[in-house]
Amino acid sequence: MKRICVLPGDGIGPEVVESAVAVLKAVTDELEFEYAEIGQSAFGKVGSTMPDETLDLLRKCDSALFGAVTSSDSMADASPVLRFRKELDLFANLRPVKNYVKLAGRPSIDVVMVRENTEGLYTQNEQYDDKGVTTLRRVTRAASERIVRFAIDYSLKNARKSICCVHKSNVLRASDGLFVSVFRELMASEGRELEAREQLVDSAAMKLVNSPHEFDVVVTLNLYGDILSDVAAGTAGGLGFAPSGNLGKVHSVFEPAHGSALDIAGKAVANPTATILAGAMMLDHLKLRNEAAMIRQAVKSTYDSGHLTMDIGGRHGTKGFTEHVVRRLKRGAS
């Protein structure tokens, strides 16, 4: 049995996590789910958006499935997501974006974003002075090396052909320059079998909309990866389609790339696909690869049969879509 820490969180988090857990239960009985609090809902109950008990459970479990949290405007609160990424040393954020449904006027996309998850602009180190605010942006050789190595290792294991380093080293010469030089060094030594490409972040955003076939695996810094994975998700149909895995040497947390989407929370209309696919990524990570493939196939077959979610103009809400996926998995198993 594998122990899974489940963190539903805020907004649509609990709705999409419930769907993903139902799908996981339909495909395997190898998982044991243990629930914990995070986000504003945790703050309301225990006075912290990231209770110590939640971090303890995350450390003890084999992996975790997380929904979303609503960001706090309070300067006093560190983001619970940044906190668990830091405390568990989840240095890589893996975001595969692929079409599960063909949408008129949008090109096909099959891109894997590998985003540095621990530094860059996400240090939350912001200092006021009498003129404004200075934000610390940190790029280290060690963090750059381990994310580029991760991208190379992922690409080789998953039969990917090229890695594109996305940066802005024409302006941020020292920091992004360091990231690019680490990329060049490691691709020349450990990634020789792969094609090494480079692209400035602004033109990369345009190409992810107009010609996403130009990308295979992308490795990039924290903020660029956050923004570009949403751009790529838009090409694939929207934020409801992009799963995400936070990975470290020991721990892992899987989640949809989207946030808590308060505008649609409680309306039962959220697309659960991203969270269901995050569950499939978790199964891959736990070496339950057949089960992961079965989930992806069930999602694809649901869309192929015309059962579309509301975010892409269909009629299925969160539960209706999930029921179709679960039914296909149960039919496949019988």
Dihedral-angle region of residue 305 (phi above 0 means left; psi in -120 to 50 means alpha; beta otherwise): alpha
For position 264 contacting ligand ATP by CB under 6 A, the verdict is yes
**Contact between 97 and 215 (Cβ < 8 Å):** no
Rounded to whole angstroms, the Cα distance separating 255 from 243 reads 6
Considering only 19, 260, 302, 322, the residue that binds ligand ATP (CB under 6 A) is 260
Tally: H helices and E strands in the chain: 11, 12
CA dist., res. 217 & res. 95, Å (int): 10
Q: Looking at 42-50, 64-72, 115-123, 295-303, which segment touches ligand ATP (CB under 6 A)?
A: 64-72
Q: Which of 25, 60, 102, 202 is catalytic?
A: 202
Assess contact for 243 and 268: CB atoms under 8 A.
Answer: no
Based on CB atoms, which residue is closest to ligand ATP, 220 or 271?
271
Q: Is 73 in the site for ligand ATP (CB under 6 A)?
A: no
CB 149, min distance to ligand ATP, A: 29
Residues 6+ apart with CB under 8 A from 325: 23, 26, 276, 295, 298, 299, 302
Stretch that binds ligand ATP, among 56-64, 182-190, 269-277, 324-332 (CB under 6 A): 269-277
Which is closer to ligand ATP, CB of 109 or CB of 264?
Answer: 264
226 catalytic, yes or no? yes
> Is residue 311 at the binding interface for ligand ATP, with CB under 6 A as the rule?
yes
- Is-contact 119 224, C-beta < 8 A? no
Which of the stretches 67-75, 101-109, 111-119, 187-195 binds ligand ATP when contact is defined by CB under 6 A?
67-75
Residue carrying the six token digits 């983001």: 79
- Using rule CB under 6 A, residue 246 touches ligand ATP: no
Query: Which is nearer to ligand ATP, 71 or 301 (by Cβ)?
Result: 71
- Answer yes or no whether residue 68 interacts with ligand ATP by CB under 6 A: yes
- Annotated active-site residue 77? The verdict is no
Residue 95 binds to ligand ATP (criterion: CB under 6 A): no
Q: Is 48 in the site for ligand ATP (CB under 6 A)?
A: no
In the residue annotation, 100 being an active-site residue is answered as: no
- Could you say which of 86, 100, 168, 303 is catalytic? 168
Known catalytic residue at 52: no
> Is residue 70 close enough to count as binding ligand ATP by CB under 6 A?
yes
Question: Total binding residues for ligand ATP by CB under 6 A?
Answer: 18
Cα–Cα distance for residue pair 174/169, rounded to 1 Å: 7
Rounded to a whole number of angstroms, the minimum distance from the CB of residue 231 to ligand ATP is 13
* Three-state secondary structure call for residue 113: strand
User: Is 168 noted as a catalytic residue in this protein?
Assistant: yes
Q: Residue 175 belongs to what H/E stretch?
A: helix 175-189
Are 260 and 9 a contacting pair, CB within 8 Å?
yes
Closest CA to 124 of 89, 85, 95, 93: 85
Confirm if 59 and 252 have CB atoms less than 8 A apart.
no
* CB 17, CB 260: distance < 8 Å: no
- Catalytic residues, by residue number, are 122, 168, 202, 226, 230
Q: Applying CB under 6 A, which residues contact ligand ATP?
A: 12, 16, 68, 70-71, 239-240, 258-264, 270-271, 274, 311
